[in-house]
Amino acid sequence: MSDIKFGTDGWRGRIAEDYTFANVRRCAQGFAAWLSSEGHDGKAVVVGHDKRFLGEHFAAAVAEVLAGNGFHVHLTDGATPTPVISFSAPALGAVGAVNVTASHNPPEDNGFKVRDAGGGAIDPEGLKAIEARIPAAGDAAAIRRTPLREALKSGAVEYFNPKPAYLTHLAGLIDVQPIKDAGLKVVVDNMWGNGAGWLTEILGGGKTEIIEVHAERNPIFPEMSRPEPIPPNVDAGLAVGKQVGADCVCILDGDADRCGFGDENGDFVDQLRVYGLLAYYLLEVRGERGTIVKTLSTTSMLDKLGKIYGVPVVNTGVGFKYVAPAMVEHDALIGGEESGGYAFRGHVPERDGILANLYLLDFLVRTGKKPTELLRILFDTVGEHFYGRIDTRLTGDEMKQAAKAKLDSIDITGKTLGGIPIIELVTIDGYKFVMEDGGWLLVRFSGTEPLIRVYTETTHGDLVDDILADGQRLAGIG
């Protein structure tokens, strides 16, 4: 068995501790072997990276192994947003993609994210099959590799610029000219990541002013603990928005696949409310119809919107390895998760923070409303919802097993959360406690980090902290 374990999107590890060049090459060999087993020998594969420490060099190592296994590698010519790398797979007729990124993880980490021919996350069975083909540590003979200089000379690896094709495709999804002409003042917090410059290029040249912050490459991510688009990591960017009197703050996480958003007062709009706004925008403002795909950790507002507009709502496990296949199966209008990742029909079944922010800006322009006014419209439609989450770092496997044993033994009879009776326990992915009033609490072990997460959504704003505290006690960590 491999000592490298694939989680939600692939593998992530601590740089120089377990995320080493040797282990990255092992992952690349496992991916190459899986592609071969699927009948894709000799086909094209896209490889890209983010702005983390040594990202371009790890990506080159991946390209060398794929070339050594007979694949034709399209290697991005610089740090590139994850959704652009994903889009490039079908755009170039590739059979898959590898992205060297740890997304929102702390600066000490890096990752190996894999995508299929459609640009979407590979399903759980596919991830297991890749993991099973990773050579054992120290088995250097199992890794086929062509040095980059030689591969570039032979054409087995070629650098390419993915931006033009992606921007052309984006123009078919949204007309940005009204946004450019609107005269908005927009702060964009790039979180030191791959999204820097993209919204300025897309929206520049008009009356709308784009003010970018955290736009340089800085792998230690100053002013935040990690490039995850939630407080307190976004506080510095929101403060700039408030200081300059911005109409809103658009936030992109480290690899630009996730979206964060701030209102005209410089206040954060949580990711569940953003999902509600995006779904309402597509259904009401654009008049589109189609299935909504949501993970069980995201908002119940979507279920209410589904009933109002007569569209199906499909619930999945947490992660785009579940969301992407469901979107393809149902030709979904929108798919998303609690972490701020949203995907859209007509695009790749992949989170895209760039497109999500453009849709939010289009929502402002089409309605002439401020973000707080749009939230009020949403709440007038589905009721006001409140959200909270607490992450607790696991000190080791013993702590994880103790929490799991406690959760597995729970009898919900007579149990309450924040004083509200629990009526159902759903264990599709983690432990989701459904309350009598329709609210919920989820306790789940992260698939990307050694964390146990406790989340809740409720219509009782004054009970969020109490519900979370009760949830921690259920897991034995409170």
What's the pLDDT tens digit per position in 316-351? 998 888 999 999 999 999 999 999 999 999 999 999
Q: How many whole angstroms separate alpha carbon 58 and alpha carbon 73?
A: 14
DSSP state letters, 204-219: TTSS-EEEEES-S--T
This prediction's pTM: 0.94
CATH topology of domain 386-474: TATA-Binding Protein (3.30.310)
Q: How many whole angstroms separate alpha carbon 377 and alpha carbon 285?
A: 12
Residue type at 295 in one-letter notation:
T
pLDDT of residue 2: 58
Check: CB of residue 216 under 8 Å from CB of residue 240.
no
Among candidate residues 441, 473, 435, 437, the one with its CA nearest the CA of residue 454: 441
Residues of the chain within CATH 3.30.310.50 domain(s) are 386-474
Residues of the chain within CATH 3.40.120.10 domain(s) are 10-162, 172-382
Q: How many whole angstroms separate alpha carbon 60 and alpha carbon 74?
A: 11
Q: Which residues are CB-neighbours of 118 under 8 A, at least 6 positions away?
A: 89, 90, 328, 348, 349
Strand pairing report for 313-316 and 292-295: parallel
Cross-strand pairs, 14? 109
The sign of the torsion formed by the CA atoms of 108, 123, 318, 137 equals: negative
Q: How many whole angstroms separate alpha carbon 427 and alpha carbon 442?
A: 10
Among candidate residues 391, 430, 445, the one with its CA nearest the CA of residue 231: 391
173-219: pLDDT as tens digits: 999 999 999 999 999 999 999 999 999 999 999 999 999 999 999 99
Pick the CATH number of 10-162 from 3.40.120.10, 2.60.120.10, 3.30.70.980, 2.40.160.60: 3.40.120.10
Q: How many whole angstroms separate alpha carbon 416 and alpha carbon 87?
A: 45
pLDDT of residue 469: 97
Q: How many whole angstroms separate alpha carbon 475 and alpha carbon 403?
A: 5
Among candidate residues 6, 298, 314, 347, the one with its CA nearest the CA of residue 171: 347
The residue whose two tokens read 């119940």 is 300
Residue type at 418 in one-letter notation:
G
The sign of the torsion formed by the CA atoms of 369, 373, 379, 385 equals: positive
220-226 long-range contacts (CB < 8 A, ≥24 apart) are 220/107, 221/107, 221/191, 221/192, 221/254, 222/192, 224/191, 225/106, 226/104, 226/105, 226/106, 226/107, 226/254
Q: How many whole angstroms separate alpha carbon 227 and alpha carbon 81?
A: 13
Q: Hey, what CATH class is 172-382 in?
A: alpha beta
pLDDT of residue 1: 39
Residue type at 465 in one-letter notation:
D
Q: How many whole angstroms separate alpha carbon 318 and alpha carbon 338?
A: 8
Q: How far is CA 237 from the centre of its chain?
A: 20
Q: Which residues of the chain have pLDDT under 50?
A: 1
Residue 43: how many other CB atoms lie within 10 Å = 17
Q: How far is CA 32 from the centre of its chain?
A: 24
Q: How many whole angstroms separate alpha carbon 291 and alpha carbon 331?
A: 7
DSSP three-state, residue 461: helix
Among candidate residues 126, 156, 129, 154, the one with its CA nearest the CA of residue 47: 156
pLDDT of residue 93: 98
pLDDT of residue 373: 98
Among candidate residues 382, 380, 377, the one with its CA nearest the CA of residue 363: 377
* Mean pLDDT over the full length of the chain: 96
End-to-end CA distance of the chain: 35
DSSP 79: -
